[in-house]
Amino acid sequence: MDKPKIVFHTVDEYIASFPPEVQAILEELRAAIKASVPDVEERISYQIPGYFRNGDLIHFAAYKKHIGMYPAPDGPQPFVQELLKYKSERSTLRFPIDKPLPLDLVTELVKFRYAENLALVDAKARKKKPAAGKPQSPNDLPDKLSQPAQRALAAAGIQSLEQVSHYSEKEISKLHGIGPNALALLHQALEEKGLSFSGETQLSPK
């Protein structure tokens, strides 16, 4: 007679189903994910822990020899070389269970996925017709900006050149996805608008 399949209702139940040493690893990973994005929603999805904010962010699952994380993003990212150490399939990362978790990489990955979600939300909002009588923030950022640069600006809540001008060049350059080409395009666009980078305003964390 087959054993009844275990059904998890909470992440606590999922983690508690593993040996203590694995539980400690999963709790460490769980804490890193929750600290990466404000107000992240945690729930069981497809019978493994899932994390959501403006859409699906990341999932993880424990196996005999590794911890799996899904999805691993494709395309250029500032941490792509680090990802390659753990990427086993197109959308799967595998962290060996007998080695320390790369928590800094996990944090960058979750923040990157959050920026992707914000960019999708922003793109959908632009397609909607603005309500009558309500001023709309202009989206006059350069069309030639790369996708990583657009995601980086969206994650910081920057949607216009006027907003860009509130930050210094150094602050903008620190955003993941902003490289020399993006800075040059922003410089040119700001000049055409009679604007410039500010050297005084501090970039507020999102």
**Which of the listed residues 46, 79, 102 is the one where a domain comes to its end?**
102
Kindly report the pTM of this predicted structure: 0.59
Total domain count, the chain:
2
Q: Is pLDDT at 170 greater than 80 in this prediction?
A: yes
Do 145 and 79 lie in one domain? The reply is no
* CA triple 42-124-76, angle to 5 deg: 70
Beta bridge partners of 94: 68
Cis peptide, bond prior to residue 71, ω within 30 of zero: yes
Provide the domain limits for residue 150: 138-192
Distances (CA, A) of 21 to 27, 28, 62, 66, 150: 10, 11, 12, 13, 41
Report the amino acid identity of residue 104: D
Q: What is the CATH number of the domain that holds 147?
A: 1.10.150
For the stretch 91-141, pLDDT in tens is 789 999 999 999 999 998 899 889 888 888 888 877 765 555 444 446 788
pLDDT for 123 = 81
3-class DSSP assignment, residue 83:
helix
3-class DSSP assignment, residue 79:
coil
Helix %, strand %, coil % of the chain (to 5):
40, 15, 45
Average pLDDT over residues 178-189: 88
For the stretch 30-61, pLDDT in tens is 999 999 998 999 999 999 999 999 999 999 99
Residue 113 is assigned to a structural domain of this protein: no
pLDDT for 130 = 55
